[in-house]
């Protein structure tokens, strides 16, 4: 939601708070005999025989991570948390100081709690682990009357480097498996001695062996030995072998001897036994059929007779959890009571316990909505869910909603109201219909069927009813890639009860009338998403999404003429949009995000314009934030009308947008951001003008074409703005407040479009945005 803000209420309050704290020094609160710990600095240097060190920045980061304890946090040089703590300890702290201390207070960190010698030991140990044996670490104390800090100086010796890496093997079969795994080792000749890399290699070998049947293996059974006696120039040989005394059951592979599934398991009926139903060698035991065995069997990726594979077991657990019917999924492997000898294969029994969720649920939500056009009002939404409709993991959701909105402010348009409601049903089937059961290894593919109807009655304007249905598929190809394909997508819109006021709007805007006349939309759409943000360890993740929407092609094959089917005029168009984002993360919750968006829709055949619901709009809290929602474009065009109706005109079939945002932490759940946005929409075609249109309508259409056309000077027609914001981020629930101001206003006369943000522009130089969630 965006609205004009002519005051600096929030910034002024923050400024008063900071100035008030700045004037209050915490030095007077520090007890006698104590020094407040002001933190540590680390200085690194290379020894005389060291020319260079690879990845020195990573070594310095590791040494910084060993500093204990951390000093009290600061904001602009002010220790707010410590200040609130001290104020709350006074005889009469008052309610406000108690509350601030409870929410943001910090216990003081005194130098008496610091042990520089212990930190020196930790740093030396870490340098030894990284191959810098015989380095030195010293510390110096920097003290004033009330504050004390520490400077650590580390001098790195020449590191030991690897000359040869060998596996010490014998006749055991497991050594052949380990040797095969070592073909992809990360340990290479010339590498620096690195204990962490060796630990990683042990874990990697353990994971690989557990995918080859070695159920009882453990990374601790592997030992690395380094030999430095053969060289006098700081080189070493590395040897890998099994530890002596490794249990015999840990060095043999295991195969699955039986698989038993309990589809309706609970502790209460654990002792109830029934005759199993066997499907492809898998036994299903359930007293009352909760899940059909023939539909559940395809989600189990391992089979009787196969070697144990930890990854396959994990993927099976993920797939069963993704069905949406189960609260808990527990896969247990039990060893058979038999003695396995060297070279033999052990046996495992696999038991899969599935604890169902409540099959039916009802959820009700009360809502309060405010919008940028002044509309506000209550709403209610009720959802009924059945999580296992046909005993095959199918989820049926039926949602009914109703909302009333009234325009509380808006000048001559105040008093307008709208009533909206709808009933929508979605059926999600955890397999591909009508195809045979699929064994997608990474995730469960889903078939989605949707059916719904909505209505909107806007006083003094129109009534709008719509019907929609869709059939499609969704699936995750891997951790990062997501697909959604809807080969059937139908949307029918019926505009009725138009008032003379709205008819006048359509009469004067043939472009808008044509976009509303395309009442029947049928086609297919496809979405591809590549999202590295799911991997929180990535410092430079990217996000890419592409959406393709094509309508009308199939209908043209069945229509008796080229314009209608079932007596309805249908739309024909092709539309594509792409969204690319690059995230650069560093430090503590700091990130620089760059985003680009491009979308283009082309009408053809029956359509001279895109349907109104398929057009692009620009401006608002998730777009160019220095402009109100849907207020940009097309091109240099701006709507002549004012109030609630003007946004009808400001759309296009081409959208270009770019955003740059720097995010940083401020305090606890409070985050900050500074940003710059640029974008607009344009027209890339000329809507047809019929002979029976009014002179006013033809003139309006001509103006729209002249000012909204995409051309070589499109960069001069971008809406550009800058701003800053505050975000309350509590466990991924984000309340966002952004204050933005235009830098370039495209609808002003050329030569007058540039302005100084936050200073020039009069009433429209400040745009306040309130929104839920990050903009991208």
CB atoms within 10 A of CB 256: 23
The CATH class for the domain spanning 254-356 reads alpha beta
How many Å apart are CA 565 and CA 558, to the nearest integer?
A: 8
Answer yes or no: same fold for 2-156 and 502-520+576-776. no
Q: Is the domain 2-156 a CATH 3.40.50.300 member? A: no
Arithmetic mean of pLDDT, 509-529: 79
Residue 3 binned pLDDT confidence (cut-offs 50, 70, 90):
very low
Is residue 584 predicted with pLDDT exceeding 50? yes
Task: Give 124's contacts (C-beta < 8 A, 6+ positions apart).
Answer: 135, 136, 137
Would strands 462-476 and 446-458 be described as parallel, antiparallel, or unpaired? antiparallel
The number of helices, as runs of H, and strands, as runs of E, in the chain is 13, 30
Question: What pLDDT score does 209 carry?
Answer: 96
Structure token digits, residue 98: 């108690």
Pick from 404, 405, 407: which is nearest to 373 by CA?
407
Question: What pLDDT score does 418 carry?
Answer: 86
Q: Specify the pTM.
A: 0.76
Kindly report, residue by residue over 464-494, the tens digit of the pLDDT. 888 999 999 999 988 899 999 999 999 888 8
**Comparing 447 with 705, which gets the higher pLDDT?**
447
Arithmetic mean of pLDDT, 372-401: 87
Provide the residue ranges of all domains of the chain, joining segments of one domain with +: 2-156, 161-250, 254-356, 361-498, 502-520+576-776
Is residue 20 predicted with pLDDT exceeding 50? no
Question: What pLDDT score does 6 carry?
Answer: 39
Kindly report, residue by residue over 185-203, the tens digit of the pLDDT. 999 999 999 999 999 999 9
Q: Is 169 helix (H, G, I), strand (E, B) or coil?
A: coil
Looking at the chain, the whole-number percentage of residues with pLDDT higher than 90 is 54
Kindly report, residue by residue over 211-227, the tens digit of the pLDDT. 999 999 999 999 999 99
Question: To which residue do tokens 């453990």 refer?
Answer: 218
**Comparing 360 with 343, which gets the higher pLDDT?**
360
234 contacts 161 by C-beta, under 8 angstroms: yes
Question: What pLDDT score does 7 carry?
Answer: 39
Is residue 367 predicted with pLDDT exceeding 50? yes
CA atoms within 13 A on the CB side of 370: 10
How many Å apart are CA 42 and CA 64, to the nearest integer?
A: 7
Tell me: cis bond preceding 634? Omega within 30 of 0 counts: yes
Question: What pLDDT score does 273 carry?
Answer: 64
Is residue 408 predicted with pLDDT exceeding 80? no
Regarding the domain delimited by 161-250, which CATH topology (the fold level of the hierarchy) does it fall under? Ubiquitin-like (UB roll) (3.10.20)
Is residue 512 predicted with pLDDT exceeding 90? no
Question: What pLDDT score does 413 carry?
Answer: 52
Question: What pLDDT score does 461 carry?
Answer: 82
Out of 110-114, 268-272, 496-500, 536-540, which region has the weakest mean confidence (pLDDT)? 268-272
**Comparing 687 with 73, which gets the higher pLDDT?**
73
Residue 300 binned pLDDT confidence (cut-offs 50, 70, 90):
very high
Phi, psi of 663, deg, nearest 5: -110, 140
Q: Is 545 helix (H, G, I), strand (E, B) or coil?
A: strand
Question: What pLDDT score does 564 carry?
Answer: 64
Residue 678 binned pLDDT confidence (cut-offs 50, 70, 90):
very high
Residue 507 binned pLDDT confidence (cut-offs 50, 70, 90):
confident
How many Å apart are CA 334 and CA 347, to the nearest integer?
A: 8
Question: What pLDDT score does 537 carry?
Answer: 86
Pick from 620, 645, 660, 628: which is nearest to 765 by CA?
628
Question: What pLDDT score does 568 carry?
Answer: 72
H or E segment at 504? helix 500-508
Arithmetic mean of pLDDT, 705-724: 91
CB atoms within 10 A of CB 521: 24
**DSSP secondary structure letter of residue 233:** S
Q: Is 217 helix (H, G, I), strand (E, B) or coil?
A: coil
Q: Is 189 helix (H, G, I), strand (E, B) or coil?
A: coil
What are 181's strand-pairing partners? none
CATH of 502-520+576-776, one of 2.40.160.50, 2.30.140.10, 2.30.40.10, 1.10.3210.10: 2.40.160.50
H or E segment at 64? helix 56-65
Question: What pLDDT score does 775 carry?
Answer: 92
Q: What is the secondary structure of 440-455 as a DSSP string? A: -SSS--EEEEEEEEEE
Arithmetic mean of pLDDT, 564-593: 87
Arithmetic mean of pLDDT, 402-421: 72
- Average model confidence (pLDDT) across the chain: 86
Is residue 122 predicted with pLDDT exceeding 70? yes
Looking at the chain, the whole-number percentage of residues with pLDDT higher than 70 is 87
How many Å apart are CA 200 and CA 240, to the nearest integer?
A: 13
Would strands 590-603 and 573-586 be described as parallel, antiparallel, or unpaired? antiparallel
Arithmetic mean of pLDDT, 609-617: 87
**Comparing 689 with 457, which gets the higher pLDDT?**
457
Question: What pLDDT score does 733 carry?
Answer: 85
Question: What pLDDT score does 489 carry?
Answer: 92
Residue 407 binned pLDDT confidence (cut-offs 50, 70, 90):
low
Arithmetic mean of pLDDT, 430-448: 81
**Comparing 647 with 742, which gets the higher pLDDT?**
742
Is residue 270 predicted with pLDDT exceeding 80? no
H or E segment at 137? strand 136-143
How many Å apart are CA 765 and CA 626, to the nearest integer?
A: 8
How many Å apart are CA 60 and CA 64, to the nearest integer?
A: 6
Kindly report, residue by residue over 634-666, the tens digit of the pLDDT. 999 887 544 444 545 688 999 999 999 999 998
Question: What pLDDT score does 717 carry?
Answer: 94
How many Å apart are CA 79 and CA 73, to the nearest integer?
A: 6
How many Å apart are CA 553 and CA 606, to the nearest integer?
A: 11
766 contacts 4 by C-beta, under 8 angstroms: yes
């Amino acid at each position: 939601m965006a609205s004009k803000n002519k005051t600096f209420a929030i910034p002024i309050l923050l400024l008063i708070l900071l100035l008030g704290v700045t004037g209050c020094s915490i030095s007077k609160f520090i007890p006698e005999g104590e020094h407040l710990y002001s933190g540590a600095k680390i200085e690194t240097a290379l020894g005389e025989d060291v020319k260079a060190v690879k990845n020195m920045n990573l070594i310095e980061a590791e040494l910084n991570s060993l500093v204990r304890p951390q000093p009290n946090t600061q904001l602009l040089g002010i220790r707010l948390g410590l200040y609130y703590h001290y104020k709350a300890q006074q005889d009469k702290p008052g309610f406000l100081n108690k509350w601030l201390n409870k929410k943001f207070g910090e216990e003081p960190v005194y130098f008496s709690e610091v042990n520089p010698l212990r930190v020196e030991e930790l740093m030396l140990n870490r340098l030894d682990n990284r191959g810098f044996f015989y380095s030195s670490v010293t510390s110096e104390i920097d003290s004033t009357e009330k504050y004390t800090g520490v400077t650590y100086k580390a001098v790195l010796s020449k590191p030991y480097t690897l000359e040869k890496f060998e596996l010490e093997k014998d006749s055991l079969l497991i050594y052949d498996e380990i040797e095969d795994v070592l073909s992809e080792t990360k340990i290479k000749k010339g590498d620096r001695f690195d204990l962490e890399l060796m630990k990683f290699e042990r874990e990697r070998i353990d994971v690989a062996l557990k995918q080859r049947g070695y159920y009882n293996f453990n990374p601790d059974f592997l030992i690395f030995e380094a030999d430095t006696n053969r060289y006098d120039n700081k080189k070493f040989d590395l040897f890998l072998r099994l530890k002596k005394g490794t249990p015999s059951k840990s060095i043999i592979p295991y195969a699955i001897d039986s698989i038993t599934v309990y589809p309706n398991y609970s502790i209460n009926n654990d002792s109830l036994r029934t005759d199993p139903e066997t499907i492809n060698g898998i036994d299903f035991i359930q007293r009352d059929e909760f899940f059909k065995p023939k539909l559940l069997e395809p989600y189990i990726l391992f089979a009787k007779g196969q070697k144990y594979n930890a990854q396959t077991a994990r993927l099976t657990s993920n797939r069963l959890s993704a069905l949406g019917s189960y609260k808990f999924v527990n896969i247990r492997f039990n060893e058979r009571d038999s003695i396995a000898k060297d070279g033999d294969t052990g046996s495992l029994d696999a038991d899969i316990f599935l604890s169902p969720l409540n099959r039916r649920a009802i959820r009700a939500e009360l809502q309060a909505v405010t919008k940028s056009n002044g509309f506000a009002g209550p709403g209610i939404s009720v959802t009924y869910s059945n999580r296992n409709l046909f005993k095959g993991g199918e989820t049926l959701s039926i949602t009914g909603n109703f909302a009333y909105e009234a325009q509380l402010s808006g000048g001559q348009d105040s008093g307008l109201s709208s009533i909206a409601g709808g009933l929508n049903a979605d059926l999600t089937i955890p397999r591909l219909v009508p195809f045979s059961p699929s064994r997608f290894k990474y995730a469960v593919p889903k078939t989605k069927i949707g059916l719904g109807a909505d209505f909107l009655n806007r006083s003094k304007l129109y009534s709008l009813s719509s019907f929609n249905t869709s059939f499609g598929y969704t699936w995750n190809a891997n951790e990062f890639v997501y697909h959604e394909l809807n080969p059937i997508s139908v949307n029918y819109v019926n505009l009725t009860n138009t008032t003379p006021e709205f008819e006048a709007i359509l009469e004067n805007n043939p472009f808008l009338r044509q976009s509303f006349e395309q009442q029947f939309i049928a086609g297919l759409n496809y979405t591809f998403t590549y999202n590295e943000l799911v991997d929180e360890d990535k410092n430079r993740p990217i996000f890419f999404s592409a959406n393709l929407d094509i309508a009308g092609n199939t209908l043209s094959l069945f229509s008796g003429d080229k314009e209608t089917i079932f007596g309805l005029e249908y739309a024909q168009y092709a539309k594509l949009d792409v969204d690319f984002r690059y995230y650069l993360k560093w430090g503590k919750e700091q990130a620089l995000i760059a985003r680009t968006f491009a979308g283009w829709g082309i009408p053809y055949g029956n359509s001279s314009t895109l349907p109104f619901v398929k057009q692009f709009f620009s401006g608002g809290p998730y777009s160019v934030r220095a402009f109100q929602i849907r207020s940009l474009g097309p091109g240099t065009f701006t709507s002549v009308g004012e109030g609630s109706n003007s946004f009808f005109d400001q759309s296009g079939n081409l959208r270009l947008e770019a955003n740059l945002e720097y995010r940083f932490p401020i305090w606890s759940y409070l985050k900050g951001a500074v940003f710059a946005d640029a974008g607009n929409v344009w027209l890339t075609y000329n809507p047809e003008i019929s002979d029976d249109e009014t002179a006013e309508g033809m003139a309006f259409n001509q103006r729209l074409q002249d000012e909204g056309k995409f051309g070589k000077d499109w960069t001069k027609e971008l809406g550009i703005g800058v701003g800053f914001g505050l975000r309350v981020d509590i466990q991924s629930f984000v309340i966002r407040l952004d204050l933005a101001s235009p830098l370039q206003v495209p609808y002003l006369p050329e030569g007058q479009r540039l302005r100084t943000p936050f200073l020039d522009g009069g009433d429209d130089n400040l745009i306040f945005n309130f929104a839920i969630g990050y903009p991208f």
